[in-house]
């Protein structure tokens, strides 16, 4: 069992420190008792996010984060495999809107993406509430040293 992380930065709107992103991702996974994972976290532009949304979800607009669960069905709950795409431009824009730091907004998107890979959903109001509570708990955990 091991945690393998790849971080790529394909945008220029917010500075990304791959080492720090990996540290945070490891802490998020440990917070959720995940000991075996292969994750790719990619920071990209709204244009690339729009392309992914159109191609895979048939949405004609960019979103803040996308998660793709690549875990083999038989290994679900044993090992997490997936890709998380984060829009740096959206993080930058929303950080201004919510009076937050762009890197903190991007961290929220990484948390959100990992939670989706763990099975959390946000389609209904009840699911969204559960997701928001969990995001808040993890962000508080990350803020502690």
What strands, in cross-sheet order, belong to the sheet with 3-9?
3-9, 37-44, 80-87, 65-69
**For the chain, domain boundaries:** 3-143
Q: What pLDDT shows up at residue 109?
A: 98
Q: What pLDDT shows up at residue 76?
A: 54
Q: What pLDDT shows up at residue 40?
A: 98
Q: What pLDDT shows up at residue 75?
A: 55
Q: What pLDDT shows up at residue 1?
A: 80
Q: Tell me how far apart the alpha carbons of residues 113 and 41 are, in angstroms, rounded to a whole number.
A: 9
Q: What pLDDT shows up at residue 71?
A: 86
Structure tokens at 110: 């990484």
Give tens-digit pLDDT for 102-132: 999 999 999 999 999 999 999 999 999 999 9
Q: What pLDDT shows up at residue 14?
A: 96
The residue length of the chain stands at 145
β-sheet bridge partners, residue 68? 83
C-beta separation of 87 from 65 below 8 A: yes
Q: What pLDDT shows up at residue 74?
A: 60
- If one looks up domain 3-143 in CATH, what number appears? 3.40.390.30
Q: What pLDDT shows up at residue 77?
A: 59
pTM assigned to the model: 0.94
Average pLDDT of each block of 10 consecutive residues along the chain (145 residues)? 95 96 96 93 97 95 95 71 97 96 97 95 96 96 86
């Amino acid at each position: 069992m091991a945690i393998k992380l790849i971080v790529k930065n394909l945008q220029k709107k917010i500075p990304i420190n791959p080492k720090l992103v990996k540290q945070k991702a490891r802490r998020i996974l440990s917070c959720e008792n995940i000991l075996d994972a292969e994750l790719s976290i990619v920071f990209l532009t709204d244009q690339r996010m729009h392309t992914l949304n159109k191609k895979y979800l048939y949405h004609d607009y960019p979103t803040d984060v996308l998660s793709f669960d690549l875990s083999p069905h038989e290994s679900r709950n044993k090992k997490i495999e997936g890709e998380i795409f984060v829009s740096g431009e959206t993080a930058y824009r929303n950080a201004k809107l919510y009076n937050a730091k762009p890197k903190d907004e991007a961290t929220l998107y990484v948390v959100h993406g990992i939670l989706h890979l763990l099975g959390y959903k946000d389609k209904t109001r009840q699911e969204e509430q559960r997701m928001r509570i969990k995001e808040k708990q993890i962000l508080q955990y990350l803020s502690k040293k």
